[in-house]
Amino acid sequence: MARLRTAILISGRGSNMQALIEACRAPAAPAEIVMVLSNNADAGGLSYAAETGIRTAVVDHLAYPDRAAFDAELDRRLRAAGAEFVCLAGFMRLLTPAFVERWRDRMINIHPSLLPAFPGLDTHARALAAGVRFHGCTVHFVRFETDSGPIIIQAAVPVQAADTADSLAARVLAQEHRIYPQALAWIAEGRVRLDGDRAIVAGAAVPPAPLISPTPA
Ligand code: GRF
């Protein structure tokens, strides 16, 4: 079966990008990473991608007069690489409605919260300040409104009494690295379909038991 030709957009560290690349290296992986593109030439993830032999590109947003021009160049690069699908992985630019529409249902994002709670930045500190007992991460299809769109998979992480934003972020990030490759694989296998605002995953099980936090020690 042809593998889903996937591009990853990053702006920084690229640990989710790395998780996606590693998962796609498996011989039976249903997706392949054909390009990593960054708006930031200093993004740490670029060197890892290049070392693995994946085509990389930098499109510096500062070199374009407006978002529309920048997004048009992104689109051009993605098409030139033959990308069929896009994963946003810490890509820190707002995308125009035209670009989001162009890649509708063919672009997903990972966000470090249990959406729709805590869209935007500083999610871990905000979760601690709100006193929630579970935090986590979400992979979702991209719609125009920031951090919105049909949810494919989430991982819930219990908040510990002693957590700092950093300790919580580290535990959430470990789960991001599990669920992002899983979501991409399901899509590449054709197991995800959209029903209005909901994404339905064929052949996926849900945990049978509720989780309660805190629990008596
Ligand atoms: C991750 O927490 C991701 O959920 C968010 O930005 C961060 C990117 O980290 N969108 P990395 O570049 O993948 O390490």
Q: How many CB atoms lie within 10 A of CB 202?
A: 10
Give me ligand 1 centre to Cα 91, in Å.
8
- Which pLDDT tens digit goes with each residue over 58-109? 999 999 999 999 999 999 999 999 999 999 999 999 999 999 999 999 999 9
HEC profile of 37-72: EECCCCCCHHHHHHHCCCCEEECCHHHCCCHHHHHH
Name the β-bridge partners of 111.
Answer: 138
Q: Is 111 designated active site?
A: yes
Over the stretch 12-64, which tens digit does the pLDDT of each residue have?
Answer: 999 999 999 999 999 999 999 999 999 999 999 999 999 999 999 999 999 99
What pLDDT does residue 1 have? 77
pLDDT at site 137: 99
Amino acid letter, 17: M
Ligand 1, residue 12: give the atom nearest the CA. Answer: 12
- pTM comes to 0.98
Q: Which residue's alpha carbon is nearest to atom 12 within ligand 1?
A: 14
29 phi/psi in degrees, rounded to 5? -60, 135
Residues lining ligand 1, Cβ inside 6 A = 10, 12-17, 89-90, 110-112, 173, 176
Pairing verdict, β 107-111 and 134-141: antiparallel
Site to probe by mutation for ligand 1, drawn from 10, 36, 173, 175 as the one with most ligand atoms within 8 Å of Cβ, is 173
